[in-house]
Amino acid sequence: MPESSPHRGPNKVVILIGLLVVVPLLMVLLRAFSLSPPGYIESPLLEQAAPAFELPGLDDGALVTLDKYKGQPVVLNFWATWCASCPMEHPWLVRISDRFQGKAQFVGVAYNDKNEALKAWLAQHGGNAFPTLVDINGKVALAYGLYGVPETFVIDKDGVIRFKHVGPINPDLLVQQIESLL
């Protein structure tokens, strides 16, 4: 057999170096793509104290703080009248809040909306089954790391965020989460 070409040796080195460079880069790219869309990044607020807030109620404009609800699980649902999937989610929230009446407090936080629009929307969608607070400047939404609406947080009776859901809630999952905190 003839001897192998003298160029074979360097090629192996180049391939090895290439693999050492390309494989980690591919891994980084795969990880980057797996993080998209950004709403699916785990919230750093999980297992942390829920950010305090003071917001006016939609009905009477009276200021409400999160502390008011301490002592029972709180379901904090960010929504808006311009949100496409909120009409689908609303009946589920109403039904589940009825089921946990007196055991868990549901609170709606209206994001970037106006009072008149909110009242009309609620009247059209079966009324206000639980308090709605108005976050016109979006300050509370920022404190909760909101990506869009709807988003739902489940806060335990000590004020710690135990669950966050981006997009319309899964009713079964929400019921499970609340029951686990009772």
Show Cβ contacts of residue 115 under 8 Å, excluding neighbours closer than 6 positions.
58, 134
Give the x-and-dash track for 52-71 against another protein (CB under 8 A): xxx----------x------
Nearest Cα residue to 133 out of 82, 60, 67: 60
Q: Is 163 in the site for another protein (CB under 8 A)?
A: no
Interacting span for another protein (CB under 8 A) from 69-77, 93-101, 123-131, 146-154: 146-154
Q: Is 147 in the site for another protein (CB under 8 A)?
A: yes
Q: State both tokens at 10.
A: 């360097």
Name the residue nearer to another protein (CB basis): 22 or 101: 22
E strand or H helix that includes residue 179: helix 171-181
Site membership for another protein, residue 149 (CB under 8 A): yes
Does residue 155 touch another protein according to CB under 8 A? no
User: At closest approach, how far in Å is the CB of 102 from another protein?
Assistant: 28
- Give the C-alpha separation, 22 to 114, whole Å: 52
Identity of the residue, 55 or 104, whose beta carbon is nearer to another protein in the bound complex: 55
- Residue of 64, 94, 125, 145 interacting with another protein (CB under 8 A): 145
For residues 33 and 60, which CB has a smaller minimum distance to another protein in the complex?
33
CA–CA distance, 164 with 174 (Å, rounded to integer): 10
Q: Is 12 exposed, middle or buried (0-12, 13-18, 19+ CB in 10 A)?
A: exposed
Of the pair 31, 127, the CB lying nearest another protein is at 31
Choose, by CB under 8 A, the member of 59, 142, 158, 180 that binds another protein. Answer: 142
In angstroms, rounded to a whole number, what is the distance separating the alpha carbons of residues 90 and 126?
A: 9
Q: Does residue 85 touch another protein according to CB under 8 A?
A: yes
Angle, helices 171-181/86-99, rounded to nearest 10 degrees? 30
Rounded distance between C-alpha atoms, residue 66 and residue 64, angstroms: 7
By CB under 8 A, name the binding residues for another protein.
2, 6-7, 10, 14, 17, 21, 35-39, 41-45, 51-54, 65, 80-86, 88, 112-114, 117, 134, 136-150, 167-168, 170, 172
